[in-house]
């Protein structure tokens, strides 16, 4: 990174923003097409930091000097939920950097179609004495996003080839073709399958996660039926292989 770019700024937050955004402008590429660079958005563009001039994908960058925790602070809860429902949310880059050495430690990509509504946690409204009294923000809860959809680009300082990143993004595209109201269920069941921690499982295994899925989808009274439906969708989209009656294997 180039910390000299921020020499005229006093605020640590401003310095970090200038340095990380410049690094991103110079180094980020589009995972959805073959574009080698992303273009920065006009100043004050809400929730979108970069765009691809070739395929029109949009991206948001969140950078921290500390490790990325399980919860990532995001903007207005209602705005993000509306963006998910309308399928207009940007792809998300999560960047961890070393502020002493000014180097990138980890960079993760989450495609815009891989956020289930259950991964968006509403925060408490700001108090009446706050400057933005009543404003309601949100957290992105990363463990509720399937591990398949958290694509590592840089891991512990080692960069993966762009071809590998793009291949992982392409593998996830069948999820994008699922209708938005249904996709949340599909992603939640995929997370539940991943959380079993084994490559082969049975219907009985995944039914043990029914209470968690019921809590995420309280409007549904037929959770086990829904789980079976989603297992079939995950089979059809290439994430699972059906090995026998009530038996499955991760692809």
Question: Right CATH number for 3-173 from 3.40.210.30, 3.40.50.720, 1.10.540.10, 3.30.470.10?
Answer: 3.40.210.30
pLDDT tens-place string over residues 110-120:
999 999 999 99
CATH class, range 178-251: mainly alpha
Q: Please determine, for residue 210, whether its predicted confidence score (pLDDT) is greater than 90.
A: yes
pLDDT tens-place string over residues 164-197:
999 999 999 999 999 998 999 999 999 999 999 9
Burial of 25: CB neighbours in 10 Å, binned 0-12, 13-18, 19+: middle
End-to-end CA distance of the chain: 38
- What average pLDDT does this structure show over 38-60? 94
Q: Write down the mean pLDDT value for the chain.
A: 95
Describe the strand order of the beta sheet including 39-40 as a list of residue ranges.
Answer: 39-40, 50-51, 58-64, 91-98, 103-110, 151-155, 158-159
pLDDT band at 45 (very low <50, low <70, confident <90, very high): confident
Rounded Cα gap, residues 251 and 241, in angstroms: 6
> Looking at the chain, which residues constitute the CATH 3.40.210.30 domain(s)?
3-173
3-class state of residue 62 by DSSP: strand
Rounded Cα gap, residues 209 and 222, in angstroms: 14
> Looking at the chain, which residues constitute the CATH 1.10.10.10 domain(s)?
178-251
* CA dist list (Å): 144 to 104, 134, 141: 25, 27, 6
């Amino acid at each position: 990174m180039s910390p000299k770019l921020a020499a005229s700024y006093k605020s640590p937050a401003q310095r970090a923003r200038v340095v990380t955004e410049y690094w991103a402008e110079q180094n980020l590429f589009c995972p959805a097409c073959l574009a080698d660079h992303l273009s920065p958005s006009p100043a004050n563009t809400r929730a979108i930091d970069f765009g691809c001039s070739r395929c029109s994908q949009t991206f948001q960058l969140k950078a921290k000097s500390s490790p990325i925790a399980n919860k990532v602070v995001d903007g207005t809860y209602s705005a993000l939920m509306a963006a998910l429902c309308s399928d207009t949310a940007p792809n998300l880059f999560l960047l961890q950097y070393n502020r002493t050495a000014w180097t990138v430690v980890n960079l993760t990509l989450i495609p815009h179609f891989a956020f289930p509504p259950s991964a968006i946690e509403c925060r408490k409204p700001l108090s009446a004495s706050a400057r933005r009294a009543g404003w309601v923000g949100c957290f992105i809860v990363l463990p509720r996003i399937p591990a398949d959809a958290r694509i590592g680009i840089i891991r512990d300082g080692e960069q993966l080839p762009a071809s590998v990143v793009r291949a992982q993004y392409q593998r996830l595209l069948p999820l994008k073709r699922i209708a938005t109201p249904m996709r949340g269920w599909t992603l939640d069941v995929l997370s539940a399958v991943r959380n079993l921690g084994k490559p082969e499982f049975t219907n009985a295994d995944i039914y043990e996660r029914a209470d968690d899925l019921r809590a995420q989808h309280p409007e549904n009274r037929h959770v086990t039926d829904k789980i079976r439906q989603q297992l079939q969708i995950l089979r059809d989209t290439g994430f699972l292989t059906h090995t026998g009656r009530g038996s499955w294997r991760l692809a």
